[in-house]
């Protein structure tokens, strides 16, 4: 009985500590360290998708820009409201096999997402063996 209680407690504590990628995240510019946007990650048909909800723009910048450099169906569409993370599939604690768009340059990268121990979201975009990992911060409404 005692063993069963310990096992149940272990499973419960693992479930409570497990974090998921869903919710709102503040993206940070790698070069300036300034916030770039708020992205909301949601689940649809078992896959994860991320959409830009808000942009942090300087007063002299276009406040509602278009994705001029996009080469797919998002070409010349508004970045605000745009889905930039698509078709992510869960593999244990990570989400992978999807894509992420960088609306700044229109490039599409393979993507991997996971929540770090500190509660931040790690977002890795890569082509072959070359990759870049960003840290996104949770947004508490």
Q: Give the per-residue pLDDT at 140.
A: 87
User: Would 9 be classed as within a structural domain?
Assistant: no
pTM of the prediction? 0.84
**Helix (H) or strand (E) run with residue 12 in it:** helix 2-17
Examine residue 52 and state whether it is found in any structural domain, yes or no.
yes
Q: Is the CB of residue 49 less than 8 Å from the CB of residue 83?
A: yes
How many structural domains comprise the chain? Answer: 1
**Residue 99 maps to a domain:** yes
Assigned domain for 63 exists: yes
Does the residue 16 lie in any domain? no
Residue ranges making up the domain that contains 105: 21-138
Average pLDDT over residues 96-125: 96
Among 126, 124, 121, residue whose Cα is nearest residue 137? 121
Residue 91 has what pLDDT? Answer: 95
Looking at residue 109, which CATH number applies to its domain?
2.40.128.520
Q: Is the pLDDT of residue 9 over 60?
A: no
């Amino acid at each position: 009985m005692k063993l069963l209680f310990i096992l149940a407690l272990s499973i419960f504590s693992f479930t409570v500590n497990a974090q998921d990628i869903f919710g709102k995240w503040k993206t940070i510019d790698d070069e300036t360290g300034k916030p770039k946007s708020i992205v909301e990650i949601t689940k649809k048909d078992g896959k994860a998708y991320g959409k830009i909800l808000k942009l942090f723009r300087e007063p002299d910048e276009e406040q509602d820009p278009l994705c001029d450099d996009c080469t797919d169906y998002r070409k010349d569409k508004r970045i605000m409201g745009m889905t930039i993370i698509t078709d992510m599939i869960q593999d244990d604690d990570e989400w992978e096999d999807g894509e992420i768009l960088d609306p700044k340059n229109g490039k599409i990268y393979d993507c991997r997402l996971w929540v770090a121990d500190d509660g931040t979201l790690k977002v890795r975009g890569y082509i072959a063996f070359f990759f870049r990992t960003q840290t996104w911060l949770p947004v508490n409404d």
